[in-house]
Amino acid sequence: MNARNVSTIILLLLVASGSWYLARSLQIEEPAETTSELGGDGFYLKSARILGTDEQGQLLFEIEAEFAEQQENSEIEMQNVRISYAIGAKVPWTIKADAATINGNQDRLRLRGHVSAVSNAGFAGQVTEIRTEQLDIEPAAYLAETASRVQIRIGSRSLTATGMLALLQDNRLQLKSNVNGKFVP
């Protein structure tokens, strides 16, 4: 083997290792496969609809949400929520909110963000609207409560208060503190 053959072999080895290194460095890395944080035990739904029934299976209320996702602590987070009562429940209220959380027992919801409750046959038979930023509601018990500031309109009358308890089926409302009102004759 002469010097020329040795230098050719060395040159070929350098070219081969250089091309291997170049090909490896230009290779696109595939993203690692992501796993769900829920570990397969949770769920998410688009256009979710939850029905609440009594012991005989009769519809009491309906909860609709654009998106719902089960959290690790068994709570359910929902976006753009609407709660309406069945005609047979005789509760003429429709409640809307930007977001809601259903507790693990699924008997209580915490509504957040631009919460409004409207009834066409509300207090004194007039259109009634309640607005607040947070509202805890037990749909099956027809109970709504907040410690936040509330704004209430009954026809042309308006009230503001801090804290409220509403018994929706009985059309009763209890304001807790800092009550201010405007009544037009």
pLDDT of residue 182: 73
Residues whose CB is less than 8 angstroms from the CB of residue 111 and which lie 6 or more positions away in sequence, other chains included: 81, 95, 97, 99, 100, 134, 135, 136, 137
- Cα–Cα distance, 53 to 51 (Å, whole number): 6
pLDDT in tens, 97-127: 999 999 877 788 999 999 999 988 766 677 8
Percent with pLDDT over 70 in the chain: 87
Record the tokens describing residue 78, joined without a space: 């929902």
Residue 31 has pLDDT above 70, yes or no: no
Residue 10, number of CB atoms within 10 A of its CB: 10
Dihedral of alpha carbons 146, 66, 142, 156, sign = positive
Least reliable range by pLDDT among 71-80, 126-135, 167-176: 167-176
Percent with pLDDT over 90 in the chain: 28
Could you tell me which residue, 155 or 27, shows the higher pLDDT?
Answer: 155
Instruction: Please compute the mean of the pLDDT values over residues 128-144 and round it to a whole number.
Output: 92
Residue 82 has pLDDT above 70, yes or no: yes
C-alpha to C-alpha distances, 152 to 8, 15, 37, 135, 179, nearest whole angstrom: 92, 81, 41, 14, 11
Residue 147 has pLDDT above 90, yes or no: yes
Statement: the pTM of the whole predicted model exceeds 0.75: no
Residue 27 has pLDDT above 70, yes or no: no
Domain boundaries, the chain: 44-182
Residue 36 has pLDDT above 50, yes or no: no
Q: What's the pLDDT band for 149 if we cut at 50, 70, 90?
A: very high
Does residue 136 contact residue 130 with C-beta atoms inside 8 Å?
A: no
C-alpha to C-alpha distances, 184 to 92, 102, 152, nearest whole angstrom: 25, 39, 14
* Angular region, 150: left φ>0, alpha ψ -120 to 50, beta rest: beta
pLDDT of residue 35: 42
CATH classification for the domain delimited by 44-182, as one of 2.60.450.10, 3.40.50.10540, 3.40.50.720, 3.30.980.10: 2.60.450.10
As a whole number, the mean pLDDT across the chain is 82
Quote helix, strand, coil % in the chain, to nearest 5.
Answer: 20, 55, 30
Record the tokens describing residue 126, joined without a space: 């007039």
